[in-house]
Amino acid sequence: MYEVYRDIKNMFFPKALYIIDKFHVVRLFTDKIQYFRIKYMKHLDSNALEYKFLKKHWKIFVMNPWTKKFKKYSEETHYTTNGELFDYLELMRMVFNKCPDLLHIHKIYSDFCLYMTFKSNESQLNKNLEYIINQLLDSGVEPMETIGATLLEFSFEILNLFSEKNKHKLTNAIAEANNNRIEKLIAASYGYK
């Protein structure tokens, strides 16, 4: 989602289909979910159950809530150090009740994961994306409005991902995975060439 890429495409590849990969849109959401999670954690005592949950099990907040993995993970039951029984959904509800911004962004992210799929027709996808963008822009919370403005700016290219024109369901997931492996290797090498 970079204006210069759009300019290059228009100048040198006018017939090419410009796609914004779903990975990048999801990343916008997960970055803001992390922002609100950390912001809320700063107001908690480090010994509080909610703090420990947010610190240790942060991945549950950025998972696609419509997957089997999320369902399995969220239904697990655990014990606290003092023997209290709890489940992740119960703790998520507790956190969401005290941090409405985190709940709001998570709900919109959940809607995005549910509504923006290859199974929907183009007209429905357009309505779904418009609904998600309006929720973000009308939130009254600056970080969410920023996501909404970005999605609005690149809505045509996001819709291209799910378009009938994208017959092969092209994605840059392989390139992103390779970049991730390279970055991890560099981090693990501790400065060795």
Where in the chain are the domains?
A: 20-188
Helix (H, G, I), strand (E, B) or coil at 120: coil
Q: How far apart are CA 142 and CA 178, in angstroms?
A: 33
Q: How far apart are CA 171 and CA 15, in angstroms?
A: 18
pLDDT one digit per residue (tens) for the chain, 193 residues:
888 989 999 999 999 888 888 888 999 999 999 999 999 999 988 888 888 888 888 888 999 888 888 888 777 777 767 777 778 888 888 889 989 999 999 999 999 999 888 777 888 889 999 999 999 999 999 999 999 999 999 999 999 888 777 777 777 778 888 888 999 998 898 877 7
N residues, the chain: 193
The continuous run of DSSP H or E covering 139 comes out as: none
Which pLDDT value is given to residue 23? 85
For residue 57, CA distances in Å to 19, 60, 86, 92 come to: 33, 6, 13, 10
For residue 18, CA distances in Å to 7, 109, 115, 148 come to: 11, 23, 21, 20
Give the contacts of 114 (CB within 8 A, at least 6 positions apart): 66
For residue 111, CA distances in Å to 77, 135, 143 come to: 26, 10, 18
Which pLDDT value is given to residue 56? 86
Neighbouring CB atoms inside 10 A of 190's CB total 6
Which pLDDT value is given to residue 37? 93
Which pLDDT value is given to residue 29? 94
Report whether 109 contacts 121 (CB < 8 A).
Answer: no
* Lookup: tokens for 142: 């600056």
The whole-model pTM stands at: 0.82
Which pLDDT value is given to residue 47? 86
